[in-house]
């Protein structure tokens, strides 16, 4: 079933000195099953807010999400691991019925040996890999990636991209990838939606021609 | 190893500090040479006398039971109230003035009024102590509930933790420092108030005993009873609060 995201309007209410602001107006798009779609656009345009709405974390908008695929794997912009639980426990929490897989997944993202480390002991790159493992270990039908490669050094960023590419290909979840780097979008996605304007709307929506060799 | 060594060193410093206090006390008492300022040895003697064959354990047990019961009541009610106030702004607006009034109402007034209204009974004691403590717990936990990080609740929602897991894995760990602070202050405050309540309207417990020995000007016994309770409080700190704090804070650093 196709996912349909329809946002007639999303308003940020006035807060402090800032006046109310219309963030999205008439922003709609469909996502086919297993489609990997990148969302690009300048910062502050509402890319993360859009993911929050798609994930169902923000329901305060006029519009609807239909055909939401479950379960949802969500890689937030910051890793958001529970700091008081070890890497292993952070994973076990999302797969309570098969906790044994936590260690396997940590090994898959290159963190064998760090299972019992608390998140504060991990570097940002490592923490984000744990968060990625958490998002993938539930075998998501919908995968939301919020700038997964930002503020990582080049090598770590490259490794993360490979990891995401491999597992997205293996699990085939419908994927929304938020980024502001066109080359990241091009490397992973079949389709790129560009956001712009104020209020934010879709300014470009295109399918990428991909050679089989690139796959 | 270095951490363990440092910890051992700290423990020794703490013990040395207590020994220093006791020696200063003993020296001071020696200089004063007064029946009204006994040294630690004399207090220890009274303590042993009251403990072995004396009524100390009887009264200590009664007081501890009262402290325990009212402590639990105050913590449970205060925590629930504090979390509700921290999460619901309208409720906080309504109840905050009441809380401020209760916080600043002298303990003695609350005690007298509950005794007058409920009679000189056990329930009155528990109500009086709990009423004195609940506002403190509520105010502390309100801060904790306000500081709850939405980021982690979002994670719980996306990954469908369910209510119980969210509570255990996401909410309680964030509230732990506030709960511990409230419990520590709580124990200290509760036992002080329990003694006053006993002194004013009960015919047993340490507060009652202190009153009797006060009338006899029997300072060594007054100090012996205080020492017995301080030892209990220390024990609770060592076997309960300190390990809990270590456990809840081990992920930091």
In the numeric block, the tokens 């490794």 are attached to A159
Whether the Cβ atoms of residue B141 and residue B84 lie closer than 8 Å to each other:
no
Query: What are the CB-based long-range contacts (under 8 Å, 24+) for B109-112?
Result: B111/B193, B111/B196, B111/B197, B111/B200, B111/B201, B112/B200
Sorted by where each begins, the domain ranges of chain A are 3-71+140-214, 82-138
Q: How far is CA A207 from the centre of its chain?
A: 19
Is the pLDDT at B63 greater than 80? The verdict is yes
Judged by CB atoms closer than 8 Å, whether chains meet at B253 and A120 is answered as yes
Q: What is the ipTM of this complex?
A: 0.89
What percent of chain B clears pLDDT 90, i.e. is strictly above it? 79
Residue with more model confidence, B170 or A152: B170
pLDDT of residue B201: 87
Q: A212 pLDDT band (50/70/90 cuts)?
A: very low
The C-alpha atoms of residue A14 and residue A77 are separated, in whole angstroms, by 25
Mean pLDDT, range A182-204, rounded to an integer: 89
Task: Name the residue among B159, B169, B253 with its Cβ closest to that of A85.
Answer: B169
Condensed to tens digits (0 to 9), the pLDDT of residues B8-55 reads 778 899 889 989 999 999 999 999 888 889 999 999 999 999 999 889
pLDDT band for A209, please (50, 70, 90 cuts): confident
> CA quadruple B109, B110, B116, B119: dihedral positive or negative?
negative
User: Looking at residue B4, what is its pLDDT?
Assistant: 62
For B8-17, the CB contacts below 8 A with 24+ separation are none
Instruction: Write out pLDDT tens, residues A171-188.
Output: 999 999 998 888 888 888
3-state secondary structure of A146: strand
- Distance of CA B21 to CAs A178, B32, B43, Å? 64, 16, 14
pLDDT tens for each residue of A111-133: 989 999 999 999 998 999 999 99
Give the number of other CB atoms < 10 A from CB of residue A69.
Answer: 17
**Taking CB atoms and an 8 Å cut-off, how many pairs form between chains A and B?**
48
- Residue B21 domain-assigned (yes or no): no
Query: How high does pLDDT run on average in chain A?
Result: 90
Chain A hits for B151, CB-CB cut-off 8 Å, are 76, 78, 80
Chain A CB contacts of B248 below 8 Å: 84
Chain mean position to CA A29? 17
Q: CB atoms < 10 A from the CB of A186, how many?
A: 15
How many Å lie between the alpha carbon of B79 and the closest alpha carbon of chain A?
21
Does the residue B36 lie in any domain? no
> What distance in Å separates the CA atoms of residue A142 and residue A146, rounded to the nearest whole number?
13
Other CB atoms within 10 A of residue A196 CB? 13
Nearest to A135 by CA among A65, A51, A79: A79
The boundaries of the domain holding residue B163 are 56-248
Chain A interface test: which of B155, B162, B245 (most A C-beta within 10 Å): B155
Number of structural domains chain B divides into: 1
Q: What is the pLDDT of residue B6?
A: 72
- Phi (first) and psi of residue B40, to 5 degrees: -60, -35
B39 occurs within a structural domain: no
From the list B177, B180, B215, B218, the residue with the least C-alpha distance to B199 is: B215
CATH class of A3-71+140-214: alpha beta
Average pLDDT over residues A98-110: 90
C-alpha distance from residue B85 to each of A15, B95, B99, B168 (Å) = 21, 8, 11, 20
For residue A211, pLDDT over 50 is answered with no
Please report which confidence band the pLDDT of residue A14 belongs to, taking 50, 70 and 90 as the band edges. confident
CB B170 within 8 A of CB B161: yes
pLDDT of residue A206: 87
Please answer whether residues B130 and B70 qualify as being in contact, where contact means their C-beta atoms are separated by less than 8 angstroms.
yes
pLDDT of residue B3: 59
Distance between CA atoms of residues A114 and A105, nearest Å: 12
Mutate to test the interface with B, among A84, A91, A131, A132 (most CBs of B within 10 A): A84
**Which uninterrupted H or E stretch holds B234?**
helix B219-236
pLDDT value for B8: 78
In a domain, B87, yes or no: yes
What distance in Å separates the CA atoms of residue B126 and residue B66, rounded to the nearest whole number? 7
Q: What is the three-class DSSP state of A198? A: coil
At B127, the pLDDT band (50, 70, 90 cuts) reads very high
A51 touches chain B (CB under 8 A): no
Measured in degrees and rounded to the nearest 5, phi and psi for residue A31 equal -130, 120
**Which tokens sit at B45?**
């003697």
Omega within 30 of 0 (cis) for the link into B44: no
A57 Cβ under 8 Å from any chain B Cβ? yes
Give the residue among B156, B31, B164 at the shortest CA–CA distance from A134.
B156
Would the CA dihedral through A117, A121, A125, A130 be positive or negative? positive
Query: In whole angstroms, how far apart are CA B27 and each of B14, B32, B222?
Result: 20, 9, 20
User: Of B2, B155, B201, B41, which is closest to residue A94 (Cα–Cα)?
Assistant: B155
The arithmetic mean of pLDDT across residues A162-173, rounded, is: 91
* Packing angle, helices B122-146 and B56-87, rounded to 10: 40
Give the DSSP per-residue string, B84-149. Answer: HHHH-HHHHHHHHHHHHHHHHS-HHHHHHHHHHHH-SSHHHHHHHHHHHHHHHHHHHHHHHHHT--
Q: Span B133-139, mean pLDDT?
A: 95
Check residue B253 and give its pLDDT. 62
Report the distance separating Cα B176 and Cα B248, nearest Å. Answer: 7
Does residue A214 surpass a pLDDT of 50?
A: no
CA-based nearest residue in chain A for residue B173: A84
Residue B200 has pLDDT above 60, yes or no: yes
- pLDDT at residue number A183: 85
Q: Phi/psi at A29 (nearest 5 deg)?
A: -160, 160
B155 with A96: Cβ contact below 8 A: no
Q: What's the whole-number average pLDDT of chain B?
A: 91
A152-175 average pLDDT score: 90
CATH number at residue B243: 1.10.3720.10
Does residue A162 have a pLDDT over 60? yes
What tokens appear for A134 in the block?
Answer: 């958490």
């Amino acid at each position: 079933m196709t996912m349909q995201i329809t946002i007639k309007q999303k308003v940020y209410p006035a807060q402090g000195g800032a006046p109310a602001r219309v963030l999205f107006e008439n922003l709609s798009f469909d996502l086919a099953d297993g489609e990997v779609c990148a969302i690009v656009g300048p910062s502050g345009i509402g890319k993360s807010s859009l993911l929050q709405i798609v994930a169902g974390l923000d329901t305060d908008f006029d519009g609807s999400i239909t055909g939401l695929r479950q379960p949802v794997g969500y890689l937030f912009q910051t890793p958001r691991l529970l700091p008081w639980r070890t890497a292993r426990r952070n994973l076990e929490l999302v797969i309570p019925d098969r906790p044994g897989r936590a260690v396997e997944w940590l090994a898959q993202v290159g963190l064998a040996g760090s299972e019992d480390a608390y998140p504060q002991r991990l570097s940002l790159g490592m923490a984000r890999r744990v968060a990625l493992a958490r998002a993938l270990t539930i075998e998501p039908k919908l995968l939301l990636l919020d700038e997964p490669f930002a503020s990582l050094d080049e090598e770590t960023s490259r490794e993360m991209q490979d990891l995401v590419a491999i597992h997205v290909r293996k699990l085939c979840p419908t994927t929304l990838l938020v980024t502001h780097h066109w080359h990241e979008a091009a490397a992973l996605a079949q389709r790129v939606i560009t956001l712009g304007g104020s209020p934010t709307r879709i300014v470009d929506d295109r399918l990428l021609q991909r050679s089989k060799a690139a796959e | 190893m270095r951490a363990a060594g440092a910890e051992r060193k700290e423990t020794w410093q703490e013990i040395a500090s207590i020994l220093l206090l006791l020696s200063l006390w003993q020296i001071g008492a020696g200089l004063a040479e007064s029946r009204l300022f006994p040294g630690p040895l004399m207090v220890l003697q009274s303590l042993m006398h009251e403990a072995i064959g004396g009524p100390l354990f009887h009264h200590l047990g009664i007081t501890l039971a009262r402290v325990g019961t009212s402590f639990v009541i105050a913590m449970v009610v205060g925590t629930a109230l504090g979390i509700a106030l921290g999460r619901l702004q309208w409720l906080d607006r309504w109840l905050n003035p009441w809380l401020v009034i209760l916080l600043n109402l002298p303990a003695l007034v609350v005690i007298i009024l509950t005794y007058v209204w409920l009679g000189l009974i056990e329930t009155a004691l528990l109500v009086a102590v709990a009423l004195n403590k609940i506002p403190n717990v509520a105010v502390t936990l309100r801060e904790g509930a306000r500081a709850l990080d939405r980021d982690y609740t979002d994670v719980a929602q996306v990954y469908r933790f369910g209510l119980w897991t969210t509570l255990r894995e996401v909410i309680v760990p964030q509230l732990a420092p506030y709960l511990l602070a409230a419990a520590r202050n709580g124990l200290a405050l509760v036992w002080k108030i329990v003694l006053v309540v006993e002194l004013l309207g009960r015919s047993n417990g340490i507060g009652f005993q202190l009153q009797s020995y006060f009338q006899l000007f029997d300072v060594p016994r007054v100090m012996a009873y205080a020492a017995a309770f301080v030892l209990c409080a220390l024990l609770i700190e060592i076997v309960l609060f300190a390990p809990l704090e270590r456990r809840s804070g081990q992920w930091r650093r």
